[in-house]
Chain A
Amino acid sequence: MLEAVNISKEFPGVKALRQVNLKFYPGKVNAVLGENGAGKSTLLKILTGVYTQYDGEIILKNEGVRFRNVKEAQNAGIAIIHQELNLIPELSITENLFLGRELLTSVGFLDEKKMDEKARELLEKLQLDAAPRSLVKQLKVGEQQLVEIAKALLVNAEIIMMDEPTSAITDKEIDNLHRIVRGLKEEGKTIVYISHKMNELFRIADYYTVMRDGCSVAEGEMSQTTEQELIEQMVGRQVLISKKEAGSTSEETVLKIKNLNLRHPSVKHRKLLTDISLELKKGEILGIFGLMGAGRTELLETIFGMNPSSSEGSVEINGKEKHLKTPKEAIRSGLAFLTEDRKNEGLVLGMDITSNISLNASPGNDFINPSKEKSLARAYIQQLGIKTPSENQYCKNLSGGNQQKVILSKWLAIHPEILMLDEPTRGIDINAKNEIYELVKKLAADQMSILLVSSEIPEILTLSDRILVMAEGQIKASFSASEATEDKLLKAALPH
């Protein structure tokens, strides 16, 4: 049995886990539920030796353990299968299985025969119909998952953790996976199963733990609970920050999207977005809620001209049909896009605040005007309350909240008509969060139109005039601010 006792974990400015207590039982499928950001991933990373700095204790078979690295967790019999599979596509199944623990012949060469034999044994057990020598990239996602499970079996893992194992596979593959999971369970293995899919959890899981805001809030037998009860436990009753006042929006449509479709870049016939239609009014904040992988980011990227060759549909800005092929054209049409990943897509970390803010504020200007840039940077530092010794500070030295404010400044400096925000407050502390909420409300009051994508329900409820819910690349529901509740949003967002 694996047990977490009073586990707490803090990141700079954020308490990710607070006194988490939970138990995973052998011979059972243990489900972990929770919204995005509830702390599930952080907990898994601690249990598998990725994070080594934490408070509290892990108890494995009645003994306290503290993993110093991933290897130690593996040696203790804990295997994890990530949502993003950890295989090397250009290597064969056998090579992947034995990576880092290759079998050798007596003279020290690779014992390929023995490894292939062992691999074949495992593949048979998992009923995976593929040759040990076939390359992993030739397998379907569901089959690759089985290879991951084979990897766990190869090292005789007692505890197998699966993070969203069914997010990318077909119904048939899900059935197959569940059959295998049941088999492993009967062998006495401990299965930890993380998923958002309620009906699936009721089919496969025996025991559940609900996490919320970094705490474990409920646990029990799966057979003793209902979907409604679980959802209530997941959202809890959180106190809202002052909600946006309604009624400041006009009737003028700024952005109109009709039947937007986006094809998967590599998988044929798979769509990332299906028939998305929406309208954004002047001065409106339109919230788009959805769980991870629902297609929210892809929607914003497509509007911003980043997928011109794989998307179809009509985008109208101020009544004019636009075919945006690059971010540059999107920006010229009055769009701005604050991306989800501020370090990789938002900031040039090695440049100072001034340069980042004026990076796209000077199209058409060939020469840099240092005094103008400086006053621009200073104005935004003051207006948004960016905490920094000077405008010449490198962005890599700023905290997450302040980095986010610099990116916001960068976009505000070009005075966009439509501001698209993708997870604008991810990973930043509560104060900066509130400041950004106030700013967004003020921008909308000044007639800027805002598309707000978030996986945090309170954030969506606090800011939005209207809320769309996305799941599996489609818009599943639409709510006005007054009728939306946490339960309704989450229920609509859960895939079925």
Chain B
Amino acid sequence: MTVSFNKEFLKKSQSLIALFLLCLVLSLLSDKFLTGTNLWNVLRQISVNVCISVGMTLVVLMAGIDLSVGSVLGLTAALSAGLLKNGLGFESLDLFVGFTVLGGVLVAMLVGLFLGFLNGWFITKFSIPPFVATLAMLTIARGLTMLYTQGMPISNLGSSFEFIGSGWFLGIPVPVWISAFFVLIVLFLSKKTTFGRYIYAIGGNEKAAFLSGININRVKLIVYGIAGMMASVAGILVTSRLNSAQPNAGASYELDSIAAVVIGGTSLSGGVGSVTGTVIGAAIIGVLNNGLVLLNVSPFWQQVVKGLVILVAVIIDKINQKKD
């Protein structure tokens, strides 16, 4: 009994051990890795991917996928920056609406939520495979971003907005607080509510879940909505950190996010995985990125290494599954 418990425990903390080993190796190879500035910096960078990936985790747990998060991030980032800087003017009505930081943030989150709902609506209403529906949204949202920004960055957004991405609170960077806040909420949602149970059930056996009287479409709609909203939160963090919304912000972030989810042990076929695993997965990617930069590895090699890490993580997972 104790043996199997230990094995189980080992399996569950596999990615945590990997993260620990990675940190150990990096601290031996580079003097800069284990410094306060660097570690806070890594955490701040990870926050963005963590925000996207907790939403993505819920989607993948349902055996879905959301490729649009990077573009939704870009669009909502541009929107929040544009509203903050220029407000909303209706010349014909001679009406001008200005936005506070909170107002801009809320609008961005609502738009993210809405775009996510749209994904969910297409997927449930027309039975479009999630891959295709969100691929379409990826292109559409990126195009809208380019239209809105005319391909130019929107910069100088004011110091109070900058605080979100660059400030400190109680000795910890603000983005870390924000991402931790959302991680806790989604963790609670996935583990302690019936809604979370339904997500796992749908991913594990959609037919059985349907026959158990679960409103599958409603669950899917909400989950894609959450994924869109979390992308917009990440968008605000990115924009605020740079004090500028770039028209191509978030491009290919969906891949880092899926990588974090997979490295964290969530199965792409659904039903198995956890939000905590994803946080560790995002940390592994973040630390790896940081370490490779510190070690002056060329950016080209960085990509190769990242790809290899994903492969190894999934292979280990598969081997474990076979043992069951």
- Most A CB atoms within 10 A — which of B194, B197, B209, B213? B213
Name 12 interchain pairs, CB-CB below 8 A, sorted by A. A326-B215, A327-B212, A346-B211, A348-B205, A348-B208, A349-B205, A350-B204, A350-B205, A359-B212, A360-B214, A368-B196, A368-B197
Give 3 closest A-B pairs by Cβ, nearest first: A348-B204, A331-B213, A360-B212
Q: Is the pair B207, A344 in contact by a Cβ cutoff of 8 Å?
A: yes
A327 to B208, CA, bound (A): 11
Residues of A within 8 A of B193 (CB): 366-368
B271 within 8 A of A: yes
Q: Which residues of chain A from 314 to 336 have any CB-CB distance to chain B below 8 Å in the complex? A: 326-328, 330-332
Q: A328-B213, A330-B213, A368-B191 are in contact. List 11 more A-B contacts (CB 8 A).
A: A326-B215, A327-B210, A332-B213, A337-B211, A346-B208, A348-B201, A351-B201, A355-B201, A359-B208, A366-B193, A410-B212
Min Cβ gap A344→B in Å is 6
Residues of B within 8 A of A366 (CB): 193-195
A326 to B192, CA, bound (A): 26
Partner of B211 from A327, A350, A362 at Cβ < 8 Å = A327
Chain B residue with the shortest CB-CB distance to A358 = B197
A365 within 8 A of B: yes
A145 within 8 A of B: no
A494 within 8 A of B: no
A247 within 8 A of B: no
Residues of B within 8 A of A345 (CB): 205, 207-208, 211
Interface residues of B (CB under 8 A from A): 191-197, 200-201, 204-205, 207-215, 271-272
Min Cβ gap A384→B in Å is 18
A487 to B146, CA, bound (A): 76
Residues of A within 8 A of B200 (CB): 348, 351, 355
Q: Is the pair A328, B208 in contact by a Cβ cutoff of 8 Å?
A: no
Chain B residue with the shortest CB-CB distance to A410 = B212
A448 to B66, CA, bound (A): 45
A246 to B186, CA, bound (A): 54
Interface residues of A (CB under 8 A from B): 304, 306, 326-328, 330-332, 337, 339, 344-351, 355, 359-360, 362-363, 365-368, 410
- Most A CB atoms within 10 A — which of B200, B204, B210? B204
Residues of B within 8 A of A355 (CB): 197, 200-201
Min Cβ gap A417→B in Å is 15
Residues of A within 8 A of B201 (CB): 348, 351, 355, 359
Partner of A348 from B191, B194, B215, B271 at Cβ < 8 Å = B271
Residues of B within 8 A of A351 (CB): 200-201, 204, 271
Q: Is the pair A359, B192 in contact by a Cβ cutoff of 8 Å?
A: no
Chain A residue with the shortest CB-CB distance to B210 = A327
Min Cβ gap A434→B in Å is 26
Q: Is the pair A367, B210 in contact by a Cβ cutoff of 8 Å?
A: no
- Most B CB atoms within 10 A — which of A337, A351, A362, A367? A351
Min Cβ gap A419→B in Å is 14
Q: Is the pair B194, A362 in contact by a Cβ cutoff of 8 Å?
A: yes
A348 to B195, CA, bound (A): 15
Min Cβ gap A413→B in Å is 11
- Most B CB atoms within 10 A — which of A328, A331, A332, A337? A328
Main secondary structure of the interface of A (DSSP, over half): loop
Chain B residue with the shortest CB-CB distance to A306 = B211
Residues of A within 8 A of B196 (CB): 368
Q: Is the pair A368, B194 in contact by a Cβ cutoff of 8 Å?
A: yes
Min Cβ gap A333→B in Å is 11
Chain A residue with the shortest CB-CB distance to B192 = A368
Q: Is the pair A347, B272 in contact by a Cβ cutoff of 8 Å?
A: no
Q: Is the pair B194, A344 in contact by a Cβ cutoff of 8 Å?
A: no
Residues of A within 8 A of B191 (CB): 368
Residues of B within 8 A of A360 (CB): 212-214
Q: Is the pair A339, B211 in contact by a Cβ cutoff of 8 Å?
A: yes
Residues of A within 8 A of B214 (CB): 328, 359-360
Chain A residue with the shortest CB-CB distance to B198 = A359
Residues of B within 8 A of A328 (CB): 213-215
Chain B residue with the shortest CB-CB distance to A368 = B192
- Most B CB atoms within 10 A — which of A304, A349, A350, A367? A350
Residues of B within 8 A of A348 (CB): 200-201, 204-205, 208-209, 271
Residues of A within 8 A of B195 (CB): 366
A332 to B193, CA, bound (A): 21
A337 to B196, CA, bound (A): 24
Min Cβ gap B270→A in Å is 9
Residues of B within 8 A of A306 (CB): 211
Residues of B within 8 A of A349 (CB): 204-205
Chain A residue with the shortest CB-CB distance to B218 = A328
A349 to B201, CA, bound (A): 9
Residues of A within 8 A of B212 (CB): 327, 331, 359-360, 410
Residues of B within 8 A of A326 (CB): 213, 215
A350 to B191, CA, bound (A): 15
A332 to B213, CA, bound (A): 9
Partner of B271 from A330, A332, A350 at Cβ < 8 Å = A350
A350 to B200, CA, bound (A): 9
Min Cβ gap A400→B in Å is 16
Min Cβ gap A169→B in Å is 29
Residues of B within 8 A of A344 (CB): 205, 207-208
Q: Is the pair B213, A363 in contact by a Cβ cutoff of 8 Å?
A: yes
Residues of B within 8 A of A331 (CB): 212-213
Min Cβ gap B9→A in Å is 14
Residues of B within 8 A of A362 (CB): 194
A337 to B208, CA, bound (A): 11
Q: Is the pair A359, B271 in contact by a Cβ cutoff of 8 Å?
A: no
A359 to B216, CA, bound (A): 13
A326 to B214, CA, bound (A): 9
Q: Is the pair B205, A347 in contact by a Cβ cutoff of 8 Å?
A: yes
A346 to B191, CA, bound (A): 22
A65 to B194, CA, bound (A): 56
